[in-house]
Structure 1
Amino acid sequence: MSRSVSFALLVLAGIIPSISACTCLFHNPQQIFCKDDFAGAFRIEDNGTVIDGIRVYEVDMLAMYRTVPIKNLDTEKLYAPTEIGAGCGVILNPDAYYVVSGYYYQKPGQLTQMGTSTCSLTTYFPNNPVPTYLPPDCDTTEVEIKSDRLVIS
């Protein structure tokens, strides 16, 4: 009987981590870039403030490489889960440059938020990437691909 109990515990130990693990749909950087709601170049200005399990970074948006149509966008903040691993959290370094992609979150009565996670791009650059970064081409005829648009602030 103890063998069957040990086996059951072993099986459960293998299942539980996979249930709570962060699972990303796309793994190719071009797919991630093209399927997220936005992709842009940012300078991270601080360590972020944690509010309800979300780290809110103050950012300077240097360029928006692609986006879906959106109104009332908060371009001064970037939101990321705090829990690394299962929670898909990311840590961005202050005073650093990143090309980041992610999704928009709309809450009634608030500006539209930009969110990112380990399932999105968070590519570090030692210097401002705007002069040198070449974004991938996206086939916007695919239903899942968002429209391309370049907006430099």
Structure 2
Amino acid sequence: MSRSVCFALLVLAGIIPSDSACSCLFQTIQQIFCKADFAGAFRIEDNGPVIDGTRVYEVEMLAMYRTVSVKHLDTEKLYAPTAIGGGCGVIFRPDAYYIVSGYYYQNPGQLTQMRTSRCSLKIFWPHHPVPIYVPPDCDTTELEIKSDRPIVFQVK
């Protein structure tokens, strides 16, 4: 190969973002919502610290639309990988509203964490979503899963 072609490929590789470490299967919003451990409405209060490639967002939980049974849930934080953490970075804007889904992560002796990823549901809302957001219906017979009656924590 000529030097100019090698140089062009090298430049192109540096320009195109690589998300190969993080790929998501195509799923509908309903599939993403219904397969999650939790889905809720949140107001992002601030971009907290980054710990081991994970940003710890301070949040206000406004409503929980879907959840599975979990003990000792930390409802004031949302954990998301940064771009450094494998290319699966999630970025939330402070003082903004989102519908977010994800999974629970339990460390022994700590509160259960709500974690989200690039493949989870993240819908930005310009204003408080609880009065108007209608969550998808999930076909489930498990009593612990709530998707038809949201648990509202605070309506502003």
TM range (shorter): 0.7 to 0.9
- Stretches of structure 1 that go unaligned for 5 or more consecutive residues are 3-9
What's 1:116 paired with? 116
Alignment check: 8 A CA contact 2:64 2:151 kept: yes
Corresponding position: 1:147 with 2:145:
yes
Q: TM-score, normalised by structure 1?
A: 0.81
Alignment check: 8 A CA contact 1:22 1:85 kept: no
What pairs up with 1:64-79 in 2 under 5 angstroms? 64-79=64-79
Give the RMSD, CA atoms, in angstroms: 2.5
Q: Which amino acid aligns with 2:114?
A: M
What's 1:42 paired with? 42
SS at match of 1:45: strand
Paired residues, number: 138
Q: TM-score, normalised by structure 2?
A: 0.79
In structure 1, C-alpha distance between the alignment counterparts of 2:85 and 2:106, rounded to whole Å: 25
Question: Percent of counterpart pairs with the same letter?
Answer: 71
Shift in Å at residue 23 of structure 1? Answer: 1.8
Alignment check: 8 A CA contact 1:84 1:90 kept: no
What's 2:4 paired with? none
Shift in Å at residue 47 of structure 1? Answer: 1.8
What pairs up with 1:91-130 in 2 under 5 angstroms? 91-130=91-130
Higher helix share: 1
Shift in Å at residue 86 of structure 1? Answer: 4.8
What pairs up with 1:6-85 in 2 under 5 angstroms? 20-83=20-83
SS at match of 2:32: helix
In structure 2, C-alpha distance between the alignment counterparts of 1:133 and 1:27, rounded to whole Å: 20
Shift in Å at residue 49 of structure 1? Answer: 1.3
